[in-house]
Homo-oligomer: A and B are copies of this chain.
Amino acid sequence: MPASNRVIGFIGLGIMGRPMALNLVNAGYPLAVYARRPEASRPLADHGANVYPTPAGVAAHADVIITMVSDTPDVEAVILGDQGIASGAKHGCVVIDMSTISPAATRRFAEALASRQIDMLDAPVSGGEQGAIDGKLSIMVGGKTDVFERMLPVFECLGKNIVYVGPSGAGQVAKACNQILVAQTIAATGEALLLARAAGADPVRVREALLGGLAYSKILENHGQRMLDDNYTPGFKSKLHLKDMRIALEAAREAGVQIPGADRTLTYLDTLVEAGQGELDSAAIARMVWGRDSLD
């Protein structure tokens, strides 16, 4: 079926969802949209999307329904709640949740939808607002392989690095792995720059030297520079990184494994958010490592 015949429902038109939905419109898909705040739908309506007052309304008119909302309870409400997707969806449609939520809850939602002959993929992303605007998100997908393959043309409008990682929930697990690795690399970069400065080397030059070798990471490159500039404009907000770390630690607990480095970094994020700095980019984890606001 050509793109233009398959209607895509899009629920959640925030910082990430809006540019993603626009990329689908620009690719030629007819869109059915819903947003909790009506004004969030306007830019899509201006591009010809049909706006519905409930997720059920969107679902009744769509072949594929993408959700991009804030947290596990929001996804649950949008899929299984009163006037949710499940109450309106056509048999044979596919739900793709691109939010970052709990893997265990994801499996539960997928089972509830399966009992209504609705397939679900979990497909969280990384790459941030700029990645969403540019259609260059990384997308980590869990669910049935045949459903993944059918949905690939949709994913290709949204991202560049699209990887199938396993059955239902596995996409969320991959995202959790991403977030614990990123958080710990931020904290370790903070320690390295702290040691450099305290022990008498120039942290600007140390970062430069380390970028040329085995210590290279995108975090040292991007977040290391933010630390040196003392500039924590997000980027990715600490309060959202904290939410994601809680999901990861809960998944580890359920799976019966210990990830103490991630646990310690969650504490840094928790302290940061409790101190009222949850709007700062999560590179500000370094401030918790330093025990002060800057390297100076």
Give per-residue flags for A209-241: 1 if the beta carbon is below 8 A from chain B beta carbons, else 0.
110111111111010000000000000000000
Q: Do the beta carbons of B138 and A195 come within 8 Å of each other?
A: no
- Minimum distance in angstroms from A251 CB to a CB of chain B: 5
Bound CA–CA A194/B206 (angstroms)? 31
Bound CA–CA A199/B213 (angstroms)? 32
- Minimum distance in angstroms from A222 CB to a CB of chain B: 7
Give how many copies assemble into the complex.
2
Binds B, one of A38-46, A85-93, A181-189: A181-189
Residue of B nearest to A236 (CB): B214
| Neighbour of A165 across the interface among B194, B205, B252, B259, CB < 8 A | B205
Give per-residue flags for A148-167: 1 if the beta carbon is below 8 A from chain B beta carbons, else 0.
00000000000011011111
- Minimum distance in angstroms from A122 CB to a CB of chain B: 11
For the residues of A in contact with B, the DSSP-based class is: helix
| Neighbour of A209 across the interface among B140, B217, B255, B262, CB < 8 A | B140
Asked whether any CB of chain B lies closer than 8 Å to the CB of A192, the reply is yes
Residue of B nearest to A257 (CB): B198
Asked whether any CB of chain B lies closer than 8 Å to the CB of A278, the reply is no
Bound CA–CA A49/B281 (angstroms)? 56
Interface size on A, residues (CB 8 A): 71
- Minimum distance in angstroms from A109 CB to a CB of chain B: 15
Q: Do the beta carbons of A199 and B252 come within 8 Å of each other?
A: yes
Q: Do the beta carbons of B185 and A173 come within 8 Å of each other?
A: no
Residue of B nearest to A168 (CB): B200
Residue of B nearest to A131 (CB): B213
What are 20 residue pairs bridging A and B, where the CB atoms are less than 8 Å apart in the complex? A103-B200, A140-B206, A163-B209, A165-B196, A165-B202, A166-B201, A177-B192, A177-B196, A177-B201, A178-B215, A180-B192, A184-B185, A185-B217, A191-B259, A194-B259, A195-B251, A195-B257, A198-B252, A198-B255, A215-B218
